[in-house]
Amino acid sequence: MQCLRSRKYIVAILIAVAFVLLNGAGRAADDARRAVLPGADRFGASEGVPPATPTFRGEERVGWVFSTREVASGGGYSARPLDVLVGLDLGCRITGAELLEQHEPILVLGISGDTLASFVRQYAGLDVAHRIAIGPAAGGQAVQAISHATISSYALHDIILGAARAVARSRGLPCALGGGGAARLDLDSFEPEGWEELRAAGSIGRLMITAGEAAEALRRAGATNSASATLPPESNYVALYAALATPAQIGANLLGRAEHARLLAEAAPGSSFIFLAGEGAYSFKGTAWVRTGTFERIQLVQAERTIALTATEHRPVARLRAAGAPELRETALFLLPPEAGFDPGRPWRLDLAIAGHRAEAGAALAVFALPYTLPRRHLLPAPPSSEAAETGEEAAVPLWRRAWAAQSGRLAVLALALVALCTVLMLQNPLSRRPPLWRAVRVTGLAFTLVWLGWYAGAQLSIVNLLSFIAALRTGFSWEPFLLDPLGFVLWAFVAVSLLFWGRGIFCGWLCPFGALQELLNLGARRLGMPQLAIPFAVHERLWPVKYIIFLGLLGLALGPTALAFMAAEVEPFKTAIILRFVRSPPFVAYAFALLLAGLFVERFFCRYLCPLGAALALPARLGIFQWLRRHRQCGAPCQLCAVSCPVQAIHPEGRINPNECITCLKCQTLYHDERRCPALRLRQKTQPAGRGGLP
């Protein structure tokens, strides 16, 4: 009995706690909303498309609060959207913006959360009905990009403005709709509608030609025989349907919401989707287009423009989703790029040619027109011209192209450095015959990698890149997020190719800023006479697998929640030591210092035993097609000179170089050519003159 009662209490307490917690959560959410829309005292439920929370002061509506992630799923680096909470008033003014969440590896690597949050707060007070520039303010409204993170700034800029404008448009705010000017398409609105409804409303246009009409038109054009003449005159020769599938109301109803969204993502902004379908004896496609690349039976005409439809623009329609669609003989979708000059808001027509033959050689052509005018309900009035100009110019250039253009100078330096590195490796033998030169090249290279590549340009490859790649493969792969980081992209491409020739060594030994930091520090420590800890090979060998275990662990986590994997990836001190240059909270800095400290006594301690990226790159090292590091017959048996001098102890006691561990520093090669120190060479010097002299 006692027991039962206490259990009841516990349940009651739990319920109370849950209630308080939930209430607290609700209040916290309201607090966040109040922060972005000051002066609001009541928030409705999130509603509408795109979803936004209506906000009131008393009974008066003052604006909306929305999350950019809910409004538009922006393509982030890790295929996970950034999320910004934005308040918008009735005058198209952003009342406040707060960063809610980000899982962007570029951001994780590059910028502190505070920097991002203060970047986002700049948008408070800006008017989205007008142009908002990023970078130096040239008279108008502008925000300042985060230095060293312009790409992240552009990404945030696009999602905040994109979402705010979508909400303003969808709510019919007069400021967003503007006055006059050319009409724009309503791309977003969607309500299920069947084929017949779309037909009746004029969203799908139709042209019906009976066999008799076709035969008569061909006869006028001089044709003496035509397929249509053999059919009953009243029979349907061809019924052609045409629709502008760009607005979701038409496109998503015809093709399905997912397919429509996919097309919007695939096509360049400003593209138009022309849907065509036909039934009847005559095919509007014909078969020649497969060979010639041109659909020669149709052309699109708008005002003074004639637009040929080609195989390049053609997309097959996998499945027609519209309810009640007739049995269609054929369907096609044409993706007209913006360069085609097609204006979806203006009337157009589709010309359909029916060919017949004449008694003399040559074809006769009869042309029928299917006029199409987009019903006005699919149009939005135009916003002010300044905004149209902005979206025009910004949408025209993809984000990643802007990133590459902005970093062209750095890319040039990196390209030069990579060429220099290749030259060094190609000239491996002459270089390693001159140890002082080799030492100079090595220290210069490492210093460049650490200072320019790492600390200045922030181009430290990381296991996080690999994890995002894997995450992206699972959730609809696209190159775009990776192209957003031009230096990283080029480095990864270079490393991928170099893996085939030299294994992990090119990256680990030459291009890893943290590796360079460890090696340079160790070099200094030796100069200062610090004792080096010689780890017995048996122990050393048994510590190798640790890094593989860490890598596999991260891989496993990456298959689960991505955020967790990124947190675990902090096992890499790269972000602390290179990207943030040790300006970080003490635990992280202490961890990085601890690793560097260990590196003073055991050269490249982190690389040898812990680095998950090194492990990932080591795995394909066995593929290495070439073995360019030279060995003598005596190496390992009995001589252990190289094995002892190898900075990462990658040489087995029996003399074999382990490609999984080798960092291609070329130190063993300097010894290979060293006639004073290499026992094998000295032996040869002794024996050769004796042998020659021994001859009579």
DSSP state, 45? -
Does 303 bind other proteins (CB under 8 A)? Our answer is yes
d(CA 577, CA 597): 13
Between 142 and 301, name the residue whose CB sits nearer to other proteins.
301
> Are the C-beta atoms of residues 641 and 679 closer than 8 Å to each other?
yes
Query: Residue 228 CB, nearest distance to other proteins (Å)?
Result: 17
Nearer to other proteins, 11 or 363 (CB): 363
Task: Compute the distance between CA of residue 555 and CA of residue 560 in angstroms, rounded to an integer.
Answer: 9
**What is the smallest separation between the CB atom of 302 and other proteins, expressed in angstroms?**
8
Burial class (CB within 10 angstroms; exposed 0-12, middle 13-18, buried 19+) of 332: buried
Asked if residue 227 binds other proteins (CB under 8 A), the reply is: no
Classify 647 as helix, strand or coil: coil
Judged by CB, which is closer to other proteins: 48, or 347? 347
CB of 267: closest distance to other proteins in angstroms?
22
Does residue 229 bind other proteins (CB under 8 A)? no
Q: Which of 112, 150, 294, 640 binds other proteins (CB under 8 A)?
A: 294
Residues 344 and 382: their CA atoms lie apart, in Å, by: 13
d(CA 462, CA 446): 18
Which contacts (CB < 8 Å, 24+ apart) does range 653-658 have? 653/537, 655/631, 657/629, 657/631
Ramachandran region of residue 389, left (φ > 0), alpha (ψ -120 to 50) or beta?
alpha
Residues near other proteins (CB under 8 A), total: 31
The correct pick among 26, 38, 181, 362 for binding other proteins (CB under 8 A) is 362
Q: Which of 117, 133, 201, 301 binds other proteins (CB under 8 A)?
A: 301
363 lies in the binding site for other proteins (CB under 8 A): yes
The DSSP bridge partners found for residue 369 are: 351
308 interacts with other proteins by CB under 8 A: yes
Residue 487 DSSP symbol? H
12 binds other proteins (CB under 8 A): no
457 closest CA partner among 183, 147, 217, 237: 147
Please report how close the Cβ of residue 290 comes to other proteins at its closest, in angstroms.
11
Q: Interface with other proteins includes 220 (CB under 8 A)?
A: yes
296 counts as binding other proteins under rule CB under 8 A: yes
Q: Of the two residues 244 and 491, which places its CB atom closer to other proteins in the complex?
A: 244
525 sits in which H/E element: helix 513-527
Q: How far is the CB of 342 from other proteins (least distance, A)?
A: 14
Of 224 and 386, nearer to other proteins (C-beta) is 224
The answer to whether 464 and 108 have CB atoms below 8 angstroms apart is yes
Distance CA 636, CA 658 (A): 13
In the complex, least distance from residue 367 CB atom to other proteins, rounded to whole angstroms: 5
Q: For residues 371 and 392, which CB has a smaller minimum distance to other proteins in the complex?
A: 371
The 324-353 site mask, x for binding other proteins (CB under 8 A), equals -----------------------x---x-x
Looking at 221, 406, 411, 443, which residue binds other proteins (CB under 8 A)?
221
Q: How far is the CB of 183 from other proteins (least distance, A)?
A: 16
Segment near other proteins (CB under 8 A); pick from 225-233, 288-296, 326-334, 483-491: 288-296
Candidates 172, 179, 293, 689: give the one binding other proteins (CB under 8 A): 293
In Å, how far from its chain's centre is CA 82? 13
Distance in Å, CB of 214 to other proteins, minimum = 15
CB nearer to other proteins: give 223 or 635: 223
Binding-site member from 23, 292, 444, 478 for other proteins (CB under 8 A): 292
DSSP 183-215: -EE--S------HHHHHHTTSEEEEEEEHHHHH
Q: How far is CA 312 from CA 189, 285, 292, 294, 342, in A?
A: 29, 14, 11, 9, 16
Least Å distance, CB 336 to other proteins, is 15
In angstroms, give the least distance from the CB of 299 to other proteins. Answer: 5
Going 102 to 106 to 108 to 114, the CA torsion angle's sign is negative
Residue 413, exposed/middle/buried by CB under 10 A (0-12, 13-18, 19+)?
middle
Is residue 31 close enough to count as binding other proteins by CB under 8 A?
A: no
For other proteins, the binding residues (CB under 8 A) are 220-222, 288, 292-294, 296, 298-299, 301, 303-306, 308, 310, 347, 351, 353, 355, 358, 360-365, 367, 369, 371
